[in-house]
Protein backbone atom coordinates (compact mmCIF):
# COMPACT_ATOMS: atom_id res chain seq x y z
CA UNK A 1 0.00 0.00 0.00
CA UNK A 2 2.92 2.30 0.61
CA UNK A 3 3.69 2.38 -3.13
CA UNK A 4 0.08 2.99 -4.21
CA UNK A 5 -0.65 -0.48 -5.60
CA UNK A 6 -3.68 -0.91 -3.33
CA UNK A 7 -6.26 1.86 -3.67
CA UNK A 8 -8.69 0.67 -1.01
CA UNK A 9 -9.72 -2.19 1.24
CA UNK A 10 -12.65 -3.28 3.35
CA UNK A 11 -12.33 -3.76 7.09
CA UNK A 12 -14.82 -4.23 9.94
CA UNK A 13 -15.98 -0.98 11.51
CA UNK A 14 -14.92 -2.09 14.99
CA UNK A 15 -12.22 -4.43 16.13
CA UNK A 16 -8.55 -4.88 15.60
CA UNK A 17 -6.99 -1.95 13.72
CA UNK A 18 -4.44 -3.12 11.16
CA UNK A 19 -1.00 -1.53 10.94
CA UNK A 20 -2.02 -0.34 7.48
CA UNK A 21 -3.82 2.57 9.11
CA UNK A 22 -0.54 4.48 8.86
CA UNK A 23 -0.86 4.44 5.04
CA UNK A 24 -4.66 4.80 4.94
CA UNK A 25 -6.02 8.30 4.36
CA UNK A 26 -9.82 7.88 4.67
CA UNK A 27 -12.47 5.80 6.40
CA UNK A 28 -15.96 5.77 4.86
CA UNK A 29 -18.85 5.97 7.33
CA UNK A 30 -21.25 4.61 8.30
CA UNK A 31 -19.08 1.58 8.91
CA UNK A 32 -20.40 -1.89 8.43
CA UNK A 33 -19.61 -5.29 9.87
CA UNK A 34 -18.21 -5.84 13.29
CA UNK A 35 -15.78 -8.70 13.62
CA UNK A 36 -17.58 -11.06 16.00
CA UNK A 37 -15.74 -13.30 18.39
CA UNK A 38 -17.51 -16.26 19.89
CA UNK A 39 -16.68 -18.69 22.64
CA UNK A 40 -17.99 -22.08 21.59
CA UNK A 41 -17.82 -25.18 23.74
CA UNK A 42 -18.94 -28.64 22.73
CA UNK A 43 -21.67 -29.82 25.14
CA UNK A 44 -19.83 -33.05 25.94
CA UNK A 45 -16.70 -31.04 26.74
CA UNK A 46 -18.71 -28.55 28.82
CA UNK A 47 -20.23 -31.40 30.80
CA UNK A 48 -16.75 -32.76 31.56
CA UNK A 49 -15.83 -29.49 33.32
CA UNK A 50 -16.47 -29.31 37.03
CA UNK A 51 -18.71 -26.53 38.35
CA UNK A 52 -15.71 -24.38 39.32
CA UNK A 53 -14.28 -24.59 35.80
CA UNK A 54 -17.68 -23.83 34.26
CA UNK A 55 -17.93 -20.83 36.60
CA UNK A 56 -14.60 -19.43 35.38
CA UNK A 57 -15.66 -19.80 31.73
CA UNK A 58 -19.02 -18.14 32.40
CA UNK A 59 -17.40 -15.26 34.32
CA UNK A 60 -15.03 -14.53 31.43
CA UNK A 61 -17.76 -14.81 28.78
CA UNK A 62 -20.15 -12.53 30.70
CA UNK A 63 -17.40 -9.92 31.18
CA UNK A 64 -16.66 -10.09 27.46
CA UNK A 65 -20.35 -9.64 26.62
CA UNK A 66 -20.64 -6.65 28.98
CA UNK A 67 -17.64 -5.03 27.27
CA UNK A 68 -19.10 -5.67 23.81
CA UNK A 69 -22.40 -4.08 24.82
CA UNK A 70 -20.51 -0.78 24.89
CA UNK A 71 -19.48 -1.03 21.23
CA UNK A 72 -20.58 2.51 20.33
CA UNK A 73 -18.27 4.00 22.94
CA UNK A 74 -15.45 1.68 21.83
CA UNK A 75 -15.98 2.73 18.21
CA UNK A 76 -15.66 6.43 19.19
CA UNK A 77 -12.42 5.72 21.06
CA UNK A 78 -11.05 3.66 18.16
CA UNK A 79 -11.94 6.34 15.60
CA UNK A 80 -10.39 9.08 17.73
CA UNK A 81 -7.20 7.07 18.05
CA UNK A 82 -6.95 6.40 14.29
CA UNK A 83 -7.76 10.06 13.55
CA UNK A 84 -4.65 11.01 15.55
CA UNK A 85 -2.75 8.72 13.16
CA UNK A 86 -4.10 10.71 10.20
CA UNK A 87 -7.13 8.61 9.23
CA UNK A 88 -9.99 10.94 8.28
CA UNK A 89 -13.62 9.89 8.37
CA UNK A 90 -15.94 10.67 5.46
CA UNK A 91 -19.58 10.33 6.55
CA UNK A 92 -22.06 9.49 3.81
CA UNK A 93 -25.55 10.92 4.29
CA UNK A 94 -29.08 10.10 3.20
CA UNK A 95 -29.44 8.06 0.01
CA UNK A 96 -25.66 7.60 -0.31
CA UNK A 97 -25.45 6.10 3.20
CA UNK A 98 -28.39 3.79 2.50
CA UNK A 99 -26.86 2.64 -0.80
CA UNK A 100 -23.50 2.03 0.93
CA UNK A 101 -24.94 -0.09 3.76
CA UNK A 102 -27.31 -1.95 1.43
CA UNK A 103 -24.35 -2.91 -0.79
CA UNK A 104 -22.44 -4.17 2.27
CA UNK A 105 -25.40 -6.24 3.49
CA UNK A 106 -25.99 -7.69 0.02
CA UNK A 107 -22.32 -8.63 -0.38
CA UNK A 108 -22.32 -10.31 3.02
CA UNK A 109 -25.44 -12.36 2.34
CA UNK A 110 -24.28 -13.20 -1.19
CA UNK A 111 -21.16 -14.77 0.32
CA UNK A 112 -23.13 -16.75 2.92
CA UNK A 113 -25.53 -18.05 0.26
CA UNK A 114 -22.69 -18.93 -2.13
CA UNK A 115 -21.03 -20.96 0.62
CA UNK A 116 -24.27 -22.61 1.70
CA UNK A 117 -26.96 -22.47 -1.02
CA UNK A 118 -29.49 -24.45 1.03
CA UNK A 119 -29.01 -23.12 4.56
CA UNK A 120 -27.87 -19.58 3.59
CA UNK A 121 -31.30 -18.37 2.42
CA UNK A 122 -32.87 -19.80 5.59
CA UNK A 123 -30.39 -17.89 7.74
CA UNK A 124 -31.01 -14.71 5.78
CA UNK A 125 -34.75 -15.03 6.34
CA UNK A 126 -34.23 -15.53 10.10
CA UNK A 127 -31.76 -12.65 10.52
CA UNK A 128 -33.26 -9.95 8.29
CA UNK A 129 -36.51 -8.05 8.26
Cα 32 to Cα 45: distance, rounded to the nearest angstrom = 35
Phi, psi dihedrals of residue 128, rounded to the nearest 5°? -125, 160
| 101 sits in which H/E element | helix 94-115
Cα 46 to Cα 48: distance, rounded to the nearest angstrom = 5
- Domain range for 115 is 93-129
105 shares a domain with 73: no
This prediction has a pTM of 0.63
78 shares a domain with 44: yes
18 shares a domain with 50: yes
53 shares a domain with 80: yes
| 72 three-class SS | helix
Encode the chain (129 residues) as per-residue pLDDT tens digits. Answer: 778 788 888 788 887 777 888 888 898 988 887 766 777 899 999 999 999 999 999 999 999 888 888 888 888 998 999 999 888 999 999 999 999 999 999 999 999 999 999 999 999 999 988
**Number of domains present in the structure of the chain:** 2
25 shares a domain with 47: yes
Amino acid sequence: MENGTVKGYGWPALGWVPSWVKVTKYRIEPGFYVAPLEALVNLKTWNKLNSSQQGVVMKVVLAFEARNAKWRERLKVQNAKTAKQGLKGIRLQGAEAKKWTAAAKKAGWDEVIALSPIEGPKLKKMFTR
